[in-house]
Amino acid sequence: MNANRKPLVAANWKMNNSVAEALALVEEIKRQAAEIKGIEIVLCPPFTALPAVSNAISGTNLDLGAQNMHWEKAGAFTGEISAAMLRELYCHYVILGHSERRTLFGETDASVNGKVKTALASSLRPIVCVGETHAQRQAGKTESVVSVQVREGLNDIGADQLAAVVIAYEPVWAIGTGKTATPRQAQEVQAFIRKLLEEMAGARLAQSVRIIYGGSVTPDNARELFREPDIDGALVGGASLNAESFLAIVKSTG
Ligand code: 13P
């Protein structure tokens, strides 16, 4: 953590929770989060639960995000959701380029870049996910893989706009596996990402961008991760499906 950047903890519910389940979970989170200040807490439910969750968190200290969107404004794109549709539901964030979307649904750095541009043009803050596979780490390619993802995913975006971007470093081998990156491993890559941002847009901008960590974050390992200077929060999957564990992670930022 760094006092100059506001911590951000986001819940990525993935393809979990019916509307009723989402509402029950939100009520619990709302209750437990009411006193928390100085941390951005973002809930990213599946599309179907966005309207209900949006309504339920209105006027609270919780914010809303989506898990994906399309890069075009509108048109014949069956099954897709536009930035304007998300804005209409008071979404302020959108997760883009999650590794599950890259590996299972063919997302590329070019499509991520298109989505980031459209999100920014629509006043949605993108949470751009990057990270290497186990094989890439073993082959010593972590920095080159992450470098391509960051440079191409954020290609042609002005420094003023980059300030609204959040980067989530999510090593693929740590997602849903219970194998968290050590604080040192995560810090190394996140400091590297900040250096890349500095090369791309200058030191001032690089210092202002939140870089969060994702991959098997739990109440047991969060505090240690957040002690690192370049870890500004977390993108939480499994542990965000339970109010108690999610809030314990949120509180570990303080
Ligand atoms: P887990 O926390 O379940 O490992 O998921 C991480 C993730 O993919 C968040 O986007």
AA letter at 148: V
Overall domain count for the chain = 1
Instruction: Decide if 75 is inside a domain.
Output: yes
Instruction: Decide if 2 is inside a domain.
Output: no
Locate 30 and state its tokens: 């709302």
Instruction: Decide if 177 is inside a domain.
Output: yes
Under DSSP, is residue 129 helix (H, G, I), strand (E, B) or coil? strand
Determine which residue's CA is closest to atom 1 belonging to ligand 1. 237
The residue behind tokens 């939480």 is: 236
Eight-class DSSP state of 216: S
Residue to probe by mutation, ligand 1, list 217, 241, 242, most atoms within 8 Å of CB: 217
pTM, 2 dp? 0.97
List per-residue pLDDT tens for the chain, 254 residues long: 999 999 999 999 999 999 999 999 999 999 999 999 999 999 999 999 999 999 999 999 999 999 999 999 999 999 999 999 999 999 999 999 999 999 999 999 999 999 999 999 999 999 999 999 999 999 999 999 999 999 999 999 999 899 999 999 999 999 999 999 999 999 999 999 999 999 999 999 999 999 999 999 999 999 999 999 999 999 999 999 999 999 999 999 98
Q: Provide the CATH number for the domain around residue 182.
A: 3.20.20.70
With contact defined as beta carbons under 8 Å apart, do 15 and 250 qualify? no
AA letter at 204: R
Instruction: Decide if 133 is inside a domain.
Output: yes
Q: Which residues of 204-236 are buried (b: 16+ CB within 10 A; e: fewer)?
A: ebbeebbbbbbbbbbbebbeebbebebbbbbbb
Instruction: Decide if 3 is inside a domain.
Output: no
d(CA 97, CA 60): 28
With contact defined as beta carbons under 8 Å apart, do 222 and 252 qualify? yes
* Ligand 1 centroid from CA 127, angstroms: 13
Paired with 8 in beta bridges are 40, 233
The parent domain of residue 163 ranges over 8-251
* Ligand 1 centroid from CA 208, angstroms: 24
Instruction: Decide if 1 is inside a domain.
Output: no
